[in-house]
Chains A and B, each alone.
Chain A
Amino acid sequence: MSDGPVTASTDTEPVLRVNDLRVWYGTQDGDPVRAVDGVSLEIKAGETLGLVGESGCGKSTLGRGVLGLLPDSAGVEGRVLYRDRELVGIPPKEMRAMRGPEVGLIFQEPMTRLNPLVTIESHFMETLRAHEPELDKEEMKRRSLEALAGMGIPPTRFKQYPHEFSGGMRQRIMIALALVLGPKLLVADEPTTALDVIVEAQILGILADLRRNFDTALLLITHNLGIVAEACDRLAVMYAGRIVEEGDAREVFAEPAHPYTRELLRSIISLDTTGLHYIPGAPPNLIDPPSGCRFHPRCPNAMRVCPERFPIEVPLAGGRRTECWLHGPADEIPPGGSEPLERQEIALAEEA
């Protein structure tokens, strides 16, 4: 993320820029669910931004919101700029034209996303015909095989059907399909969750190569902090519809600024874990989130000001930012606000 005003050079111009995006889902009778409630972020070319959070934090909604894949009952406000082009509110036809050649999406379950009645070759040809009709068949085949080869799929299998491939290979085919049109931005929503650990590692390697070879910007949405550490340049942590911390992945892992990030990192069970740690309570109701800072009921560092005033985003060193009263701004905290908050014990019934 830039420290100052964005320069004019195309190198540093962000491919994706989201400004105060809000996506609220209407409910049958009652208040809307505030799935995404004011999110801003930026991704530059060749950069991978990891968007992490637990279930219900709104990260999938954010991914879909960027691509315009929301249901009719979702209201969207704010701005999503893809290379300076506003995506919120553009006619569906234009959005469809952009999906594929400009913006690609990789879904979670590769088993169900390919048409079982149609060969892999047909999948590719159809895609290329739809978006780049001026190419001749030979050229289309060459591009397809190239994309597949990059994913480790042998050309001898070009004419096979999806069911003849395993889950990991299908996900690789999906990535190849997403890449064959050369999009500048890829959104991957839990791309490896349904896959085994070794296949997952293989795919992460492929995604890492993307950064290097294709200059594609990647928004990687996941709940698995392990793969974020391996695959991402920067990291944004979401909680209750907002980004509570964002910055360089290494730095965030080394020194998390927001208590939620810190607690989340501590609760991961890795090969080094010797003791169990978890966050008491449960993620909040998005229809009526807690007042002030949404994490305050579960935060071990909560202060008196936290339930009273919504925290103000604070820039930190190294292009990081966070939304937490622990980092000030001090002049906004009323007197006595820095005192520790007397929290009620989280009732047993409210544990996840």
Chain B
Amino acid sequence: MRLPHVLQPVAQTRGVPRWILISGVVIVAFFLILAIFAPLIAPYGFDQVEADGMRFAKQASPDSQHLFGTTVQSTDVLSRVVWGSRTAIEVVVLAVVFSLAIGVPLGLFSGYVGGRIDRFLVLIMDALFAFPYLLLAIVIAFLLSDTFGQGVVTAAVAITVVYVPQYFRVIRNHVISVREEPYVEAARALGAPRRTIIGRYIFYNVIQNVPSLATLNAADAILTLAALGFLGYGIQPTDAAEWGYDLQRAIDDAGAGIWWTGLFPGLAIVLLVTGFTLLGEGLNDVINPLIRYQRIPKPDIPAAARPLEVGGPAAAGAARAATETRAHDPPGEVNRE
């Protein structure tokens, strides 16, 4: 896969950061597979309460028929977890895509032109950012549910609003420092139109942080979605399975000693959030050189044949002995770039 040049360091990771990155990728990939192939993997539908004419048991503990047990509504927990993956991934991917599509261009533009437009946008974004995010998401979800219903899109948009300011901010600040760079000035001096400067000279140099930001935001978005579902403002239960909603339903069960209705959705949330976080942190370690921690071992330096003294004829003899070894180095290719 040919990465854009600025993301090249990803291919060169080693050691701990590499493992972080790989674990993150594995976990996220696992859930992606669950999401994409949900119809094939889930034994039943997300709201299926019977099969072969027989209704499922209510709150049955895990057995061969229902590996994760059933809920009080007789739905299969395993299936709901798998279908829930699809919901989570759908919502989060949509939200991240929307946020990027709005936040990045706004940040680019605002950072480059500066002035009143910039001040105005920053004010708005800071205000949004200052809002308690869950409250904001609830309000937006609430407002949108009248027009768009309580579906995946509503949830995605609610989450988008919460995260746009972050992308805006990060990109804008980076743009402000990059736009003073000599190569941007040179582009201006050579007659580049503004859109080319932003799109070709600034864009590629400010997006290094975006992949890790996006993945970390995705982690957060999963939690926000679950919170929305938990509070009842998330996805309509009849539309799709959602882990947060399941958790809310599982509260009553806990008192009765029914652990499987809460544990598995909860585990799924934790696992996916961890996966995205590992991915994000791994990317961050790799792309951001200041934070990058690389353990480079000290090299082994061969000792001189005999300890050398400075000056005098003895030195020549000692130097000869030491250099004898070096002169036998294979005459290497002169390696020049």
Q: Which residues of A contact B (CB under 8 A)?
A: 1-5, 17, 19-20, 22, 24-29, 32, 38, 40-42, 72-79, 282, 284-285, 287-288, 290-292, 297, 307-310, 312-315, 321, 329, 332, 350
A292 near B310: Cβ-Cβ < 8 Å = no
Closest to B332 in A: A288
Total contacts A to B, CB within 8 angstroms?
97
- CB pair B12–A28 under 8 Å, yes or no, is yes
User: Are A20 and B296 also in contact (CB < 8 A) when A75-B301, A329-B316 are?
Assistant: no
A-B contacts, 8 of them at CB < 8 A, read A17-B310, A24-B299, A32-B301, A38-B304, A42-B310, A74-B298, A315-B313, A321-B311
User: Considering the chains assembled together, what is the distance between the CA atoms of A291 and B294 in angstroms?
Assistant: 31
Distance A241 CA – B307 CA, assembled complex (angstroms): 19
Can you name 15 extra interface pairs (CB under 8 A) apart from A28-B296, A72-B296, A315-B311? A1-B310, A3-B311, A19-B308, A28-B14, A28-B294, A41-B310, A42-B310, A284-B334, A285-B334, A297-B334, A309-B327, A310-B326, A313-B316, A314-B316, A321-B311
User: Per a CB cutoff under 8 Å, which of B299, B309, B335 touches A288?
Assistant: B335
Q: Which B residues are CB-close (under 8 A) to A314?
A: 316
A41-B310, A291-B330 are known contacts. Are A32 and B299 too (CB-CB below 8 A)?
yes
Set of chain B residues within 8 Å of A309, measured between Cβ atoms:
323, 327
- Return chain B residues, CB-CB under 8 Å to A79: 307
Give 1 or 0 for each of B290-321: 1 = CB within 8 Å of chain A CB. Answer: 00001011111101100111111101100110
Nearest CB to that of A296 among chain B residues? Answer: B334
Q: Is the CB of A310 within 8 A of B323?
A: yes
Interface centre among A309, A310, A314 (most CB of B within 10 A): A310
**Nearest 8 Cβ contacts at the A-B interface:** A32-B299, A291-B331, A73-B296, A75-B298, A77-B301, A310-B323, A20-B308, A309-B327
CB distance from A104 to the nearest CB of B (A): 23
Q: How far is the CA of A284 from the CA of B332 in the complex (A)?
A: 12
* Cβ contact within 8 Å between A282 and B311: no
Give the docked Cα–Cα distance between A75 and B316 (Å). 26
B116 within 8 A of A: no
Residue B336 CB within 8 A of the other chain = yes
What is the chain A residue whose CB lies nearest that of B337? A285
Task: Name A26's contact: one of B299, B307, B323, B336 (CB within 8 Å).
Answer: B299
Other-chain contact of A312, B297, B300, B320, B334 (Cβ < 8 Å):
B320
A75 contacts across to B, CB distance below 8 A:
298-301
Contacts of A29 in B (CB 8 A): 14
A313 touches B335 (CB 8 A): no
What is the distance, in angstroms, from B208's C-beta to the closest C-beta of chain A?
A: 20
Complex: A329 Cα to B317 Cα, angstroms: 11
CB pair B309–A19 under 8 Å, yes or no, is yes
CB-CB nearest in chain B for A352: B336
CA distance A350 to B322 in the complex (A): 31
Q: A19-B307, A312-B316 are in contact. Are A73 and B298 (CB under 8 A)?
A: yes
Contact (Cβ within 8 A) A2 B334 = no
CB-based contact B297/A4 at 8 Å: no
How far in angstroms is the closest Cβ of chain B from A20? 4
- Residue pair B336, A350 in contact (C-beta under 8 Å): yes
Tell me, yes or no, whether B329 is within 8 Å of chain A by CB.
yes
CB-defined contacts of B331 to chain A, threshold 8 Å = 291-292, 307-308
- Known contacts: A28-B296, A313-B319, A314-B316. The answer to whether A22 contacts B301 by CB under 8 A is yes
How many whole Å from B213's CB to the nearest CB in chain A? 26
A304 CB, nearest partner CB in chain B, Å: 13
Given known pairs A20-B308, A285-B334, the reply for A77 and B316 (CB within 8 Å) is: no
Contact assessment for B312 and A4 in the assembled complex, using a CB-CB cutoff below 8 Å: yes
Bound-state CA distance A202–B330 (Å) is 50
Contact assessment for A26 and B316 in the assembled complex, using a CB-CB cutoff below 8 Å: no
Contacting residues, chain A, for B316 (C-beta < 8 A): 312-315, 329
Contact of A290 with B301 at beta-carbon distance under 8 Å, contacts A309-B327, A321-B311 already known: no
Choice from A26, A284, A285, A350 contacting B296 with Cβ under 8 Å: A26
